[in-house]
Amino acid sequence: MEMIHLSPVAYEIIGVVGFGLYVLDYTLLTLRYTSGHDIKYFVINLLAAALIQIFWVVMSLIGITLRFTRPSHPSF
């Protein structure tokens, strides 16, 4: 299986879209365009969580990789 290589900025955008979906879902719920019993509510919530988790996992892997491949600098 071949991995998709995106820039870190692309993964940040994925995280922001996930956050936006959370805000959209909460707004739809608050304005009563959906309810906590509606399947649409759960689907948007699931998609938002998945996108945010992708963001966190990729950013963490980038941080770990940079830590081991770049010389360390003194802590401030």
pLDDT, one tens digit per residue, over 31-66 is 999 999 999 999 999 999 999 999 989 889 888 988
- Identify the band that residue 3 occupies on the pLDDT scale cut at 50, 70 and 90: low
51 lies in some domain = yes
CA distance 8 to 56: 11
- Identify the band that residue 2 occupies on the pLDDT scale cut at 50, 70 and 90: low
What tokens does 28 get? 């739809």
Number of domains in the chain: 1
Angle between helix axes 39-69 and 8-30 (nearest 10 degrees) is 150
**Amino acid residing at 25:** D
6 lies in some domain = no
The domain of 59 spans: 11-65
22 Cβ contact list (under 8 Å, min separation 6) = 45, 48, 52
CA distance 28 to 65: 39
34 lies in some domain = yes
pTM: predicted TM-score of the whole model, two decimal places: 0.72
73 lies in some domain = no
76 lies in some domain = no
